[in-house]
Structure 1
């Protein structure tokens, strides 16, 4: 958590200016909001309940200095007298139930009040006092309150102004916070996607595509919730709680001390929750990644699933993953239900009950005014509100931390920086010198491979499946590095060359070509600005595909959807050929490039290859031996070793493994040709 939290903080510091401004606006919003109860206290204690303060006769005859006429005599409240101003006889106005009475003398003490006829009785403990009281009419009561109306309206206006200002500050801080969060996640997703480009091919051999996609999309979105929701609530809540506690101490330190146990209680709450939630969320994120991986695989293999009637088994596999995901989601639901805001509300109500008992059963009862009690209850309500918000965000916090762990795990994978710049086109002299290689430690798939390909030569690799043909080309491309031995290009160790610069002058055509969403032209150029339109068209002409694509409605601007599923296998392969040739490679690799092409398209490609191979070192992996008869070298591989080496004629004269393979293929072809002739003659 500490390591992950530090890295999340480092991302936040990239956009610290809007975040700091947001926190400043938040502090101002909290200050504006917390001033409200103090204003309410002033309105209640001074201007509403202040009517019960002592009143004195005054010689003032105007209301400009808050003098009030009653029965021909002017009275002024004690706190409205100026310093040194003379005071006359003291009188009091007291509320009894819903009535207000006028008493023409001071009150010795306050307590329980009872009005009987024209007599007011006040009882405090064993003491009792009786006073002659006169009920005030509504008009008379209004006269005594009238001097306070102006001040009340000013305070009410101030209260409303603070609400508006607080709302404006709150809007500003939320906008800036969310905008900064969006930019943080934008940066994080860019970093994750860039990291994918740096990872070696063997990483993707062991990771389903759906799981990788889940980290870029689902996990980063969960991290976004951390900045937008979790941190916003935690920051807001913390500032509110600190501000409210400070306000409570200003209001009444004795009541403030009563609320302090809430803080350690909240901290313990968070610790206990995270202990269980972390484990559940790890399982949930792992299950959702597995579901994404399984869905991606099912979509990719839908043709096979339906052709072999595996829909039912596939659904069962999905349901098993979905059930496991739901099981852990339900565990999280139970945990959240136990520790939800409802429990926080119970704690709040218990504190209110304790407050009533504490105040009612102590000497504070006579020392705390109604305004102070109102402000305290208001502050206590306000303090529990952010605490509820914090508790409600704990599930999002755990989900975000787990997701961030997964994102940083991907970012921490060992990768290679993409090299900038360009390298001079090399000649294409390739040499393998006693090369040994294993995908898994100790299980060598290439054993002591040595050969040399000169510039402009064509080298063909043949052998049974698993003999090591593709592994040789994987090493040449540096998708993997050798365990032992040396591979050189123009005499230079390929491990001393940045991978991107090594591959800059290599072209490859796979048995199953991959096309990207776009157009035929964009799939040839891969949107490389150095590949001009004319160069694209020339490459298509060189592979004999120009006329084929010219017949399409939009020509080479015909849209290509994902993987080129609307094009035939031959058309996709021709685009792949043109793509390799458009980049003018010094080394051209054909990995069973003609295996999935019909005979007519293969003839077109073979005719183009004789021209295209000039000046290039070409490596061909082929099962159809008829396509490599003109190769300068043919390497026959068996279990990772070169068992025969030479050109077609030399290998045929050896009467070895290559001879047997060639004769076997020729026999199949002769049999097929005879069957075709018989079918045409109607035999």
Structure 2
């Protein structure tokens, strides 16, 4: 968690300027909002309930001096007198129930008030009681005494309105900056993850379903985005709110503020307990969603096989099992969230309110706290629980984001090789394997002491049964994997000493099942490499004999190609793949069973092009159709990872060995092949 949090902070630090400005805007917005209860307190205590403060006769006779005319005399409230201004007789305006009364003398003490029908006001405090003769005030008379306060009330209301507008403006700025910064952070993270994929070795993809990798780039990074947009905003907002409110509570009354402090350790314990259980559930959920994505991807890729072999029911059952496991953990997390969500926080808040009432009512504080202070305190307490509810409600997003970030960083931490951006001089193409041994799994060698040499311009064919090691030789040459023992050299230089990208810069490959990208035929030949001109693309297509075939399409070589080129025939896809390899003018050309899935006519076209294009290039051919490699300079026959025969077509046919048998079988002469096998056995 600490390491993940540190790395998330490092990503945020890249865009610290907008984040810091957003937090500054947030602080201003919180300050403007927290000023509201203070303004309300002043309005209540000073300008509304302040009418009960002592009033004195005064010589002032203007409204601007807050003087109020009553029965031919002017009166002014005590807090409106300036220093040294003379005061006359003290009078009071008091509220008893819903009625306001006039008392033309000071109060001896204050307490519980009761107004009798005959105009007597009784005040009781403990065992003491006092009775006064008072005069009831009508609405218009009461209004006269409130009138001097209207200007101040309007000013405070206007101030509050202005603060609301300011707070709204800063809130908008905070949210916009925070979300835009979060979008840029996630954009950077996705770019880093995608760049990391380019650096990973091929064996990583052998062991990881594509759907799981896609899930980390899309779903997991989106969950991390929630951390910056929702969780960060709520946690920072909540923290600033809570700190500001506690400070305001201490300003109001430190005794009441102390009463609320236990809520902070309660919130901390709450977060710790929640994360303990939620972490496990979220790990399982993210793992299941990755598996679901992987299965969906696999099902889409293999839909033809699924439907052809009527495996829809079994595939659906497998999916439902994963879906059921995912739903199970989702429901467990949902139960945890329901138990620890805002409902529980509301219970805690109500308990605090109950405790507050009991605390104030059962102590001497009730006689020392004004209505305005109590109103402001209750308002602040409500406001304090609101961000706490926000923090608690964001705990699921926090935990989900942390788990997702763990998965993203796990991918970023995979050992990869930086992509070289430079260029290397075109090498000659002299390839040499020296006592090469290789195993995909430790102790299970698929290549055993492979030694051969391919000189510049030569064509070397690799033949053998499935699993004999043909493709493994080319995987090592391309450095998709590295040898366990021995070495491979190109022009005398060990390939392990050459950056992989620069080594492959002058290699071309055509696979049995060519992969086409979404785009056009032309873009699939050039791969959008700016060094591959339009003329070069057209020339490559002409050289492989595909120009006329594609010119007949509605848009020619600009014909759209959808994913994997499924609208094109196998032969068309293979010709595009072949033209792609040739367009890059490789020094080493590799054909991995490139003619296995195409028709005889297309194969003849490619064979004709190869006669010209293989000149000056070292060409490796893996072929099951032995008729396509009769002109190879060297044919290597492999069996269980070893070279059992080598030579030209004529030399190998003369040996009457394994190559001879394979050739005769393909030519439809099983009897001759069997005779050759018997001769081989007798020779042994």
State the Cα distance separating 1:668 from its structure 2 match: 6.2
Q: Distance in 1 between matches of 2:407 and 2:432?
A: 41
Deviations 1:414-452 (A, max 9, x none): 000001110000000000000000000010000000000
Deviations 1:124-176 (A, max 9, x none): 11110000010011111000101111111001100111111111111101110
Instruction: Identify the residue that residue 67 of structure 1 maps to in structure 2.
Output: 67
CA contact (8 A) 2:664 2:670 kept: no
Q: Distance in 1 between matches of 2:631 and 2:329?
A: 62
State the Cα distance separating 1:84 from its structure 2 match: 0.9
Instruction: Identify the residue that residue 629 of structure 1 maps to in structure 2.
Output: 630
Instruction: Identify the residue that residue 6 of structure 1 maps to in structure 2.
Output: 6
CA contact (8 A) 2:199 2:419 kept: yes
Q: Distance in 1 between matches of 2:531 and 2:60?
A: 96
Deviations 1:284-310 (A, max 9, x none): 000000000000000000000000000
Structure 1, unpaired ranges of 5+: 672-683
Deviations 1:498-523 (A, max 9, x none): 00000000000000000000000000
Deviations 1:92-146 (A, max 9, x none): 1000111100001111111111101210000111110000010011111000101
Q: Distance in 2 between matches of 1:668 and 1:509?
A: 31
Q: Distance in 1 between matches of 2:542 and 2:157?
A: 83
Instruction: Identify the residue that residue 676 of structure 1 maps to in structure 2.
Output: none
Instruction: Identify the residue that residue 476 of structure 2 maps to in structure 1.
Output: 475
Instruction: Identify the residue that residue 397 of structure 1 maps to in structure 2.
Output: 398
Report whether the alignment pairs 1:654 with 2:655: yes
Secondary structure of the residue that 1:594 maps to in structure 2? coil
Secondary structure of the residue that 1:434 maps to in structure 2? strand
Instruction: Identify the residue that residue 508 of structure 1 maps to in structure 2.
Output: 509
Q: Distance in 1 between matches of 2:134 and 2:617?
A: 117
Secondary structure of the residue that 1:667 maps to in structure 2? coil
Q: Distance in 2 between matches of 1:72 and 1:99?
A: 23
State the Cα distance separating 1:627 from its structure 2 match: 0.5
Q: Distance in 2 between matches of 1:543 and 1:668?
A: 32
Deviations 1:351-372 (A, max 9, x none): 0111011011100010000000
Secondary structure of the residue that 1:485 maps to in structure 2? strand
Deviations 1:50-90 (A, max 9, x none): 00000111122222211111111111111111111111111
Instruction: Identify the residue that residue 354 of structure 2 maps to in structure 1.
Output: 353
Q: Distance in 2 between matches of 1:636 and 1:359?
A: 96
Over the aligned positions, Cα root-mean-square deviation in angstroms equals 0.9
Instruction: Identify the residue that residue 495 of structure 2 maps to in structure 1.
Output: 494
Deviations 1:371-418 (A, max 9, x none): 000000010011000000000000000000000000000000000000
Instruction: Identify the residue that residue 122 of structure 1 maps to in structure 2.
Output: 123
Secondary structure of the residue that 1:417 maps to in structure 2? coil
State the Cα distance separating 1:190 from its structure 2 match: 0.2
Secondary structure of the residue that 1:64 maps to in structure 2? helix
Secondary structure of the residue that 1:552 maps to in structure 2? coil
Which TM-score applies when normalising by structure 2? 0.97
Deviations 1:577-618 (A, max 9, x none): 000000000000000000001011001111110001000000
Instruction: Identify the residue that residue 158 of structure 1 maps to in structure 2.
Output: 159
Q: Distance in 2 between matches of 1:647 and 1:65?
A: 119
Tell me the number of residue pairs that the alignment of Structure 1 and Structure 2 aligns: 671
State the Cα distance separating 1:553 from its structure 2 match: 0.6
Q: Distance in 2 between matches of 1:62 and 1:34?
A: 36
Q: Distance in 2 between matches of 1:669 and 1:198?
A: 49
From the superposition, tell whether residues 575 and 113 of structure 1 become closer, same or farther in structure 2 (CA, over 3 Å): same
Q: Distance in 1 between matches of 2:659 and 2:670?
A: 17
Instruction: Identify the residue that residue 109 of structure 1 maps to in structure 2.
Output: 109
Q: Distance in 2 between matches of 1:263 and 1:105?
A: 49
Instruction: Identify the residue that residue 76 of structure 2 maps to in structure 1.
Output: 76
Structure 2, unpaired ranges of 5+: 673-684
Q: Distance in 1 between matches of 2:107 and 2:601?
A: 117
Q: Distance in 2 between matches of 1:467 and 1:669?
A: 22
Instruction: Identify the residue that residue 95 of structure 2 maps to in structure 1.
Output: 95
Q: Distance in 1 between matches of 2:377 and 2:389?
A: 18
Secondary structure of the residue that 1:470 maps to in structure 2? helix
Task: Show structure 1 runs of 4+ deviating over 4 A.
Answer: 668-671
Report whether the alignment pairs 1:437 with 2:438: yes
